[in-house]
Structure 1
Amino acid sequence: MHYSLLDLAPVPEGSSTADALRNSGDLAQHAERWGYHRYWLAEHHNMPGIASAATAVLIGHVAGLTKTMRVGAGGIMLPNHAPLAVAEAFGTLATLYPGRIDLGLGRAPGGDHAVMRALGVHPERSENFPQEVQELQALFGPRIEGRSVRAHPGEATEVPLWILGSSLYGAQVAAALGLPYAFASHFAPAALEQAFEVYRRYFQPSDRMAKPYAMLAINVFAAETEAGARRLRTSMQQAFYRLRTGTPGKLPAPVDDLSSVVPAGAMPALNEALRVTAVGDPGQVETQLCALIEAHRPDEVILTGNIHDHAARLRSFEIAAQAMQRITRAKAA
């Protein structure tokens, strides 16, 4: 089983966007050495704690710092962009780094209504999502004489497309188009089981894929001790709480007592949103990852986790990679 990494390019409190971008490049180089198959970055706007708004630019930076690992978007919010512009950007990336670029597509705006207005996006644009995915497929496809609009670069690059989602809609689109599907279980797991079931049941084989291929997103917070790992996790818990209450900011520093900064009444919803998580020492993380894999039977997992200290984040993903290697060896035995 492949294991991959989703990096939201977090900007910790007390640091700058420049620091975050340097950290992403450093993490990517380590991830390649640790055996991660893909390194994905995601489009978010108007969020001071996330530095990956210009996603294609950052993908090019990471691809240039690595050699063999696949690099891509998890994802590009397609309603924000004309398909031709996406095809040209990712066609350029695929031409510079052949065989290494992925394009995950979502239909959410990646921001609030103010962001949509600033981007010039109409809310109804998302209704055209399946048709625009197919338009992208055509733009990346073989050269067709007489076609009025062609992507240069982009044409004939056959950039692999993924459908992203946190509801049944994305599962249905991915199944109907015969594309791989990645579920956002790391922050919105409510429909996880049903979405995977719908995707697998209704999958239609396509020229690109003969059978369904589902990716499970898992938060990981790993350290030498369980207490240390749980403390690391409090940064993401605080950030998620602030986002849900309309006060997003940079990634908070960890705290010893989460109840001192997050009200008790908010904890049930917070715990549910972030329940697809492995947290603890190396043995605990391996056990929890194995249980999630057994429960949901993904074809691939993508690990994520916003940690305030860069060295601690590196160590967490290293422990997770070692755990995934042991899990894979055990399944192969």
Structure 2
Amino acid sequence: MDLVAANTALILETNNLRGGNDSREALASLKRLITTLGQQTLPTQSFAQWIITHDGLEAQACKALCELAGRPIEFVEITSLTGYYDAKNVGFEAVDQSRCQYVVFADADCIPCTDWLEQLLSPFTLPAATAPVAVAGRTSYDASIMGSALTAIDFMYFPSPLREGATRNFYANNVAFRRDTFEQHRYEPLDGVYRAHCQVMGLRLQAAGVAVAYAPRAHTEHRLPDTRGEVVQLRWLRGGDSVGLTPYLVRAYMPAWLQWLGRSGPLGPFCVMAGRLSYSLRALNHQDLPPLHGLRRILATAMVIGMSLLDTSAAIVRGLGISAGRAKARHSEALSYHRTLD
């Protein structure tokens, strides 16, 4: 494990800390996360590189963060127009190819379990013949009724036919790659799509025969937005994303005679949303979160249905060519994820 860590770059983007328009909040959130990462069972000091992309942290703040981490951190400044997935690509460009064989991607608004890095990287220690080239950890929201319901919608994992213990999909806040693998398949631009790029990359990896190993014990908790209004915004954005994602799903999974669904306006996304609702209801209480029983289970089920209906409404509206409520789908904008980090 020490040898893998010594050849790994940890890439942390801070785009989700843009919301709220308060640089002091963003810095405080980043400090809390670095303190949390300092408690990992696999010390961050053992990594070859730690790279943080940012929107213009002052030199004094960068120095304080390095002191807090107890190691050098390479800060890569991005512009205000650099989007979430673009920032990950930019951070990757700063990786020292002579020192790093692996890259780990994390988000500044997620809180990992204490053995997250160890669990995420351990598959790479397998013999070369069986070691994966990509590993996905498990992401969830918190264990509340709302968190459990939204986890069943946003963070489902589907077994891959390419390899036992592999997943068809992954999430960009909790994934590691061999450096050469990510270099070949990095995130592609998707105009008008908020957060579906990693799903598209997962489909491209599957088509290329690249298996992504699933490490469920490498868990990180994705925070919910700071306000209920922003939770609704998130649902609207994710629902609308299904329009951009549908052609890729149809191409990957539908027979030739159904390929027209990828060009069917709102019909294809509606079918995707209907199928997702079925999977989400089955996923509830089966995602390694504390199980919900009785009234709590009923409320979570109702919330899955209600939020899915909101998502479906957004999908139909966007499928009709209406972009209402999608201002934050511009890659450079973000919701606010500060208060829930306290």
Structure 2 length-normalised TM: 0.31
Q: Which has the higher contact order (CA 8 A, sep 6+)?
A: 2
Structure 1 length-normalised TM: 0.32
